[in-house]
Structure 1
């Protein structure tokens, strides 16, 4: 029997919620459906949980086998949906993610609405959104409501809350050459890009009741991606949901081994959590392990160091050591005495000398990398350039927005302005 509803479930590394998502399809009061589980090469725990269901009739499983270094190149969930749609047979198409679940009456309610009026080809419902913290405790619940017939649903409707006709999908493919736009520019709001295609033909019609539940935890893509700049500044500590901790240095990622994390005076609270695809787009560089205390040329930049039994303190940047001129310099740039790393003098001698870092004035020759400045707006110093940075981006990157280094216009104008760090989303 040809299914009425084809469900496309996209999955990536959500072992604790993927089962509930699948079960919510199995519990539908309308039984004439097929489910396509499109997994994006998840970890073994997730795959094992999926395998519990793939021997059931009407459930089809596909693994993309995507390599980590290629994830960022397209909006992966849109790519998976595009691969799934030609495999489906249903009269109606609907979507599910691995951290969402359907209420049992969802298919029956939506199909009834679509069948009653042939001019309606897209329906959407209300959605219950549960925000959960890292301890699994619900912090907030809210209802994403319906707002009547929508000709511009961007920002109002989640893609787990709609159902549309196959006919409409085929018309989109004929015009655009694909169903969803999976350009990497739409990682944050791929559904919005798809809505713009759908509404060229038909508006969204409301079903004013909750028919799906969304879980937003500390690993949810939207929470990790919000306010993340296209390029992450050197010196930023980062970690993906399924990765170790890295530092971005010379625009590669260097894994920091736990054994040296504390020795290098890094602070766990300063680690920025980001989505895996945006971590993996940085090539992996030389790891930061115990070897950095043997070969100082491997030592990470943006660290304060001094030789044992010697008072001189240096700031490392661009693989040079820069003498901190005096205590006022420390104060002017908000440097911290408790972050100084003591090492052997012969190791420190391996690094070439750079210009000294002097008190903040109009004659200051060099700025310490990674310092947040403010003159009306925020700036971050990198390679002696001042890069504009949005406040929300600076907060995302754990920069000290409440205690920046204040600078006047004359000092700001002395240094070259670099490319801005900003959060860009389309729609």
Structure 2
């Protein structure tokens, strides 16, 4: 199933088309329609009616079946006539930009799974074709290709399948999957449900955007030193849900000073917030290496915001946005007047590298606690009431 990819793909597939066992289908999907459904689930649903064997297995372009993979799974069904679905142990190889293997781990297959969602890769599964009719009768489709399942379509299908049958294990490595820095799994790993203000982000077209107040703004080369090595790569369905705004002259959440002006400012909400003194500069974990020099006229044109100060009383008043705090042994991110709980994995994903600022709930009592920035998988699993390993 070719989702209207490119001529190179067609050239590779072409040499196999003389084999009567191989059927090639090109979706010729229009680019405007790519984000209307979860595309891989849509293509699987289109492919399944063509299957006329007793068993169904899935294979994607980053995975290699071992020679005995299919025969061992069919053998498992032969020895267990009651079995409806089986899964095997999988080797996962992490690959760098040069195609070199840098690490690996295994997804084991020890136990019978009554909740296979988020535990089994779909390239490690084989199931009876007869299950499909039961699933379609109950749910109206095989795989759920709603866009909200763009990063976990297989898990939704496993949850459907588990309503009818458990997954039996084969604890042998029967396939190997290769994960590059641009692999789908790496791209969505540790992403929260919403993008974080002040982030530099990019999709598959490699264009860099600055995310601010729910809008992604194109970023010019002028700010290349800021987004180099700190741009978050995200899948297109995740990125394209946000509208494109105008190019920003000066991004928010950066330190600036004028060419002939000693004062240091923090840009927030399009305003310049003067950092009152060295005490405030150090307390809020600012670094001099992050200061960007801009033109004097450009600096003067920015409206004045509230100064950034540090009260020696301990009370935190008008803190700068997009700064990490450590409150009661938990990390919080301050954004737009709200403290958001945040997980360490998300902190690293979004390059929030500075040391968290120590505080207590008493210090920040005047500010509300908002929606957490937790990895989206955590929230999905919680909603589905599925326990992940």
Tell me which interval the TM-score lies in, with the shorter structure as reference length. Answer: 0.7 to 0.9
1:80-95 alignment to 2 at 5 Å?
A: 80-95=43-58
Shift of 1:168: 0.7
CA distance in structure 2 between the partners assigned to 1:181 and 1:109 by the alignment? 29
Instruction: Look up the SS of the partner of 1:406 in the other structure.
Output: strand
The 1:333–1:43 alpha-carbon spacing in structure 2 relative to 1, beyond 3 Å, is: farther
Instruction: Look up the SS of the partner of 1:238 in the other structure.
Output: strand
**So what's the TM-score if we normalise by structure 1?**
0.79
1:329 pairs with 2:280: yes
Q: 1:372 aligns with which of 291, 307, 324?
A: 324
Partner of 2:211: 248
1:65 pairs with 2:29: yes
Shift of 1:169: 0.5
The 1:268–1:50 alpha-carbon spacing in structure 2 relative to 1, beyond 3 Å, is: farther
Partner of 1:346: 297
CA distance in structure 2 between the partners assigned to 1:270 and 1:84 by the alignment? 39
Partner of 1:417: 369
The 1:109–1:244 alpha-carbon spacing in structure 2 relative to 1, beyond 3 Å, is: same
Instruction: Look up the SS of the partner of 1:98 in the other structure.
Output: coil
CA distance in structure 1 between the partners assigned to 2:52 and 2:118 by the alignment? 29
Q: 2:223 aligns with which of 243, 252, 261?
A: 261
Partner of 1:28: none
Unmatched segments (≥5 aa) in structure 1: 1-36, 289-297
The CA RMSD measured in Å over matched residues stands at 2.7
Q: 1:318 aligns with which of 261, 269, 284?
A: 269
Listed one character per residue, the Cα deviations across residues 79-108 of structure 1 (whole Å, up to 9, x for unaligned) are 322232234333322111110121233333
Instruction: Look up the SS of the partner of 2:334 in the other structure.
Output: strand
> Is the 2:315–2:364 contact (alpha carbons within 8 Å) kept by the matching residues of 1?
no
Q: 1:101 aligns with which of 47, 64, 68?
A: 64
CA distance in structure 2 between the partners assigned to 1:156 and 1:312 by the alignment? 53
The 1:47–1:375 alpha-carbon spacing in structure 2 relative to 1, beyond 3 Å, is: farther
CA distance in structure 1 between the partners assigned to 2:34 and 2:19 by the alignment? 32
CA distance in structure 2 between the partners assigned to 1:363 and 1:118 by the alignment? 69
> Is the 1:332–1:360 contact (alpha carbons within 8 Å) kept by the matching residues of 2?
no
> Is the 2:190–2:349 contact (alpha carbons within 8 Å) kept by the matching residues of 1?
yes
Partner of 2:237: 277
CA distance in structure 2 between the partners assigned to 1:276 and 1:167 by the alignment? 34
> Is the 1:252–1:284 contact (alpha carbons within 8 Å) kept by the matching residues of 2?
yes
CA distance in structure 1 between the partners assigned to 2:285 and 2:9 by the alignment? 45
CA distance in structure 2 between the partners assigned to 1:347 and 1:154 by the alignment? 53
> Is the 1:68–1:277 contact (alpha carbons within 8 Å) kept by the matching residues of 2?
no
1:13-412 alignment to 2 at 5 Å?
A: 37-39=1-3, 41-42=4-5, 45-46=8-9, 49-50=12-13, 53=16, 57=20, 58-63=22-27, 65=29, 67=31, 71=35, 74-114=37-77, 118-257=81-220, 259-262=221-224, 265-287=225-247, 298-360=249-311, 364-376=316-328, 377-400=330-353, 403-412=355-364
Shift of 1:310: 1.7
Instruction: Look up the SS of the partner of 1:134 in the other structure.
Output: coil
CA distance in structure 2 between the partners assigned to 1:398 and 1:47 by the alignment? 38
Instruction: Look up the SS of the partner of 2:42 in the other structure.
Output: helix
